[in-house]
A and B are shown apart, each in its own frame.
Chain A
Amino acid sequence: MAELDVNLIDGLAALVLLTAFLIVATGRMRTLVRVFALQSLALGLLAAAVAYSTGYWHIYIVAALTILLKALVIPRIIDRVMDRIQVANDVEPSVRTPSSLLIAGGLAILAYYVAEPLIQSGETITAGALALSLAVVLIGLFVMISRKKAITQVIGLLVMENGLFMAALSLSYGMPLIVELGVFFDIMVAVLIMGVFVFRINRTFDTLDTSFLRRLRD
């Protein structure tokens, strides 16, 4: 395969990780959603590049679905939810931004060490992207834990899922099509359900701050 393809794929994978850092860094909700859309777009293009260089047609479908659902539809849904409940534009992190960035950097290094033995045994052209995708998964998890608003938790989950898609692409050129389609379906339904819950949490507690969800305990 061409050297260019590998460079393009690695470049796009790096862009996905970079946007994960931006998600940690940004202090505005609207920007957060835009950056997530950008990340999904980069991921979709990455999938398209993999499809082009390997010639597997089913990856084109995955690429198209990623761009359609995760870069367009889901950000639109989240925007709508934010409009309807008039959410304040501040992210309200419980870990402050500079320390958050440091932790995210640490997670990226950790991901590299975890992925090292796996990259050795990988044969795909995208194996190099595995460390990057694990880093994205871990950073997504960190966003979920360290941000208070319900919507940011949803975005953290979606970032984790983006990381997973990149991992699947880099290890095995994605999964069988039926599985990919099912996963997309589940993600769509999950976002819709979480959207409904965000509405109800806002209506019931008059806030989106999930640290109010502390009633049930022993």
Chain B
Amino acid sequence: MLELLLLIPVLTALVCLLLRDRRKVEWASSLGSVALLAASLLASYDVVTNGAKDEGTLYMDGLSAFMLMLVAIVSLATSLYSVGYMGRELQEGRFGAKRISYYYALLHAFVMTMVLVCLSDNLGVMWIAIEATTLASAFLVSFYNSESSLEAAWKYVIICSVGITLALLGTILLYASSIQQLGEGGGSLEWSSLLAMAGQLDPTLLRISFILVLVGYGTKVGLAPMHTWLPDAHSQAPTPISALLSGVLLNCAMYAILRYHMISSTSLGPGFSGGLLVLFGVLSMAIAAAFIILAKDFKRLLAYSSIEHMGVIALGFGIGGPLGIIGGLLQMLNHALTKSALFFGAGQVYARTKTRTIEEIRGLSKTMPITSTLWFAGFLAIVGCPPFGIFVSELVILMAGLQAGELLVISLYLVLLAIIFAVVLLRASRMVFGHPPKEQGRREGDLSAILLIVALLAGVLVLGLYLPQGLNDMLEGIARLFPGGG
């Protein structure tokens, strides 16, 4: 059953590669994504009602189910959005007609690697899958083959490969500490068994291992100061890919860190790994705030905002407790939906204005009223305005921090959120309001894009107003998987 979840994107990628007709490729890609979402829903429902599934190398519990749903939802939105967006880019001649098949094949290969990250039980296989996400998405980042996209892709591959090399060293150390306990042959890299025997693992090895993994996978998450690849890759990739990178890839890498965090905090107590997560979380928020002030390009602004949100998520899990963990999970979901909607909007704005420089854009409310209203609503959501979901998840993390008595951390958290709130809204209103620089007629974005943005924002709005019972049960179930989350 779990293999099926991997098989669907693989088959979709192969079909996309073989088909030559653009319309057929788009249908194959969309249907493949719908099938993946349906299969993920079924598998997740099964896991939530009947408990975790262990199928050797593959393993699925509530947390994997949650991540899988994120991947499936955002990748469906992305492949639907790609139809209109990449179709237009093709007509404008930004790339050759033959390459559209490669685009969709790589997109689904990329999705497959992320699904594997969520489902692997073996920490070594998880490492392989995370490295594979970089490799599968490298050519997507450099898809336009321009000077700047090539630069972004080179940095992306090199920086993430180095980071991930450190994570492999951390994984090796963890394996070494499990071998010391169980002896050669009995030693294990399966995190479910490592978690079960966490109490017996060598604390020194475990500490060094967690630091290496946090720095290594943290590079991929975009935690500061290892984030330098992120704004380049996010701004140079085709816009649908930016949404996928920001919405789910970062979360997948965070998921890997969480698995180590669970093992480490079971063995060493929550203080060590949690403390490090809080430290990197606050640092990421601070650096993101500084660069949001400096950012001149709206896609880079969105990229820095992703760094900020990854910081908030790390902070939530680092503080821990049921509130911190549920807040972190909700933040992952809300951020994935909102950021995808924002990138989709950004793509429509770029298609209209042909610039990404914030200074050069004025008066979108006159030239594309509906699209820009939705885009502005997305900005309101991302900075945490009520009644959108991010307000709730950030509030839950705030309460977790107060409950844990982390007053210094919480005051920094509030100050940084306030700075980012002000700056992002200032930039957004600059672009949306005022008079357009030259007289332009009214022309909205694509209808399909507008519908997708509405759907994503409606999701965030619902999450801000009330938490469906099913989701609530699922989140509480996941929190119980963490030590101290019950």
- A interface residues, Cβ below 8 angstroms from B: 54, 56, 117-118, 121-123, 137, 141, 144, 150, 153, 157, 160-161, 164, 167-168, 171-173, 175-176, 178-179, 182-183, 185-186, 189-190, 193-194, 197, 200-201, 204-205, 210, 213, 215-216, 218
Contacts and interface: CB of A to CB of B under 8 A. Distances in A.
B176 A190 contact: no
Question: Could you say which interface size class chain B belongs to?
Answer: 35 or more
Contacts of A153: 158
Contact of A183 (B128, B142, B157, B236): B128
B150 to A, nearest CB: 6
Given A160-B162, A171-B172, A179-B122, A216 B151 contact: yes
Given A173-B184, A186-B135, A200-B150, A216 B162 contact: no
A171 to B, nearest CB: 4
Interface stretch (B27-35, B271-279, B291-299): B291-299
Contacts of B208: 118
Interface in B86-136: 122, 124-125, 127-128, 131-132, 135
A117 B122 CA distance: 27
B187 interface: yes
Contacts of B158: 144, 153, 157, 194
A167 B209 CA distance: 13
Contact of B295 (A178, A205, A218): A218
Given A56-B184, A171-B172, A215-B148, 6 more contacts: A118-B208, A161-B165, A175-B189, A193-B138, A197-B154, A213-B151
User: Which of B57, B131, B168, B291 has the largest number of chain A CB atoms within 10 A?
Assistant: B168
Contacts of A190: 131, 135, 157, 161
A216 B154 contact: no
B472 interface: no
A157 B157 CA distance: 11
Contacts of B147: 204-205, 215
A90 B39 CA distance: 54
Given A137-B165, A144-B158, A172 B291 contact: no
A83 B294 CA distance: 43
A197 B204 CA distance: 40
Contacts of B157: 190, 193-194, 197
